[in-house]
Structure 1
Amino acid sequence: MLDELLAAWIGRQRWFGGKGRAIDALSIESDVELAPGLRHLVAAVWQEGSRERYQILLGERAELPDRLGHALIGTLGGTYLYDAVHDSDLMGLLLGGMARDESRGGIRMRHVPGVEIDTTPKSLVLGAEQSNTSLVFGDSYICKLFRRLIPGVNPELEIVTALAERHAPHIARPYGWIETELDGTATTLAIMQEYLCTANDGWDLALASVRDLYACMPEISAADAGGDFAAESLRLGVATARVHKELAEAFPTGVIQCHEVKRMAEGFRQRLRRAMTEVPALRPHADAVEAAYHKVDQLAAEVRVQRVHGDYHLGQVMRTPTEWVVLDFEGEPGQPLAERTALYSPLRDVAGMLRSFDYAARHLLADNPRAAELEPRAEEWADRNRMAFLDGYIEGGGAVTARDAALLHAFELSKAVYEVVYEARNRPSWVPIPLAAFRPRPT
Structure 2
Amino acid sequence: MIQLLNPHSIWERLATVPQAGDGRTTALLTALTSEIPDPYTVRLFHPLPEVPAGAAERGFDVDQTNYSVVIGETLVVKWLTPPVPLPHPAPEMFAHLTSVGFTATATPYAAITRGGELLALVTRYLPGARDGWEWCAEEAAAGRTAFAGELGALAADLHAALATPSAAFPDPVRPSPARTSWPTRAEAALREALELTDGEDGEWLAARAHLLAERFRVLADHDATPLIRIHGDLHVGQILRWRDGYAVIDFDGNPTVSDTDLFQPAARDLAQLSTSLEHAGQVAIKRRGADPAEVGQWAVRATSSLEDAYIRRLHELGHARLLHDGLLRAFAAEQECRELIYAARHLPRWRYAPMGVLRSWYR
TM-score (norm 1): 0.69
Larger % of strand: which?
Answer: 1
Q: What is the identity percentage for the equivalent residue pairs of Structure 1 and Structure 2?
A: 23
Q: Tell me the number of residue pairs that the alignment of Structure 1 and Structure 2 aligns.
A: 341
The equivalent of 2:158 in structure 1 is: 243
Name the CA distance, whole Å, in 2 between partners of 1:36 and 1:433.
43
Deviation at 1:359, TM superposition (A): 0.9
> Aligned letter for 2:190?
L
Q: Is the 8 A contact 2:279 2:357 kept in 1?
A: no
Structure 1 counterpart of 2:118, from 188, 191, 198: 188
What RMSD, in angstroms, separates the aligned Cα atoms of the two structures? Answer: 2.9
Secondary structure of 1:144's aligned partner: strand
Name the CA distance, whole Å, in 1 between partners of 2:10 and 2:357.
55
Structure 1 counterpart of 2:247, from 301, 304, 325: 325
> Aligned letter for 1:240?
A
Higher alpha-carbon deviation: 167-176 or 417-426? 417-426
Q: Is the 8 A contact 2:149 2:305 kept in 1?
A: yes
> Are positions 1:274 and 2:192 aligned together?
yes
The equivalent of 1:75 in structure 2 is: none
> Aligned letter for 1:104?
P
Give the gaps of 5 or more residues in structure 2. Answer: 1-6
Aligned pairs (5 A) from 1:175-254:
175-182=109-116, 187-212=117-142, 222=143, 228=144, 230-249=145-164, 250=166, 251=169, 252-254=172-174
The equivalent of 2:340 in structure 1 is: 420
- Provide, for residues 30-70 of structure 1, a one-character-per-residue CA deviation record: whole Å limited to 9, x for no partner: xxx942796222xxxxxxxxxxxxxx24xxxxxxxxxxxxx
Name the CA distance, whole Å, in 2 between partners of 1:318 and 1:344.
24
> Are positions 1:290 and 2:213 aligned together?
yes
Name the CA distance, whole Å, in 2 between partners of 1:385 and 1:207.
12
Higher alpha-carbon deviation: 432-441 or 200-209? 432-441
Higher RCO (Cα < 8 Å, 6 or more apart) = 2
> Are positions 1:359 and 2:279 aligned together?
yes
Alignment CA distance shift 1:422-1:335 (3 Å): closer
Deviation at 1:233, TM superposition (A): 1.0
Whichever of the two has the greater Rg, that structure is: 1
TM-score (norm 2): 0.83
Q: Is the 8 A contact 2:189 2:337 kept in 1?
A: yes
The equivalent of 1:14 in structure 2 is: none
Aligned pairs (5 A) from 1:12-161:
34-35=8-9, 39-41=13-15, 56-57=16-17, 84-98=18-32, 100-109=33-42, 111-112=44-45, 114-118=47-51, 120=53, 121-161=55-95
Name the CA distance, whole Å, in 1 between partners of 2:119 and 2:135.
31
Structure 1 counterpart of 2:238, from 312, 316, 322: 316
Name the CA distance, whole Å, in 2 between partners of 1:245 and 1:349.
13
The equivalent of 1:162 in structure 2 is: 96
> Aligned letter for 1:102?
E
The equivalent of 1:265 in structure 2 is: 183
Name the CA distance, whole Å, in 1 between partners of 2:233 and 2:100.
23
Secondary structure of 1:245's aligned partner: helix
Structure 2 counterpart of 1:394, from 295, 311, 315: 311
Name the CA distance, whole Å, in 2 between partners of 1:410 and 1:254.
21
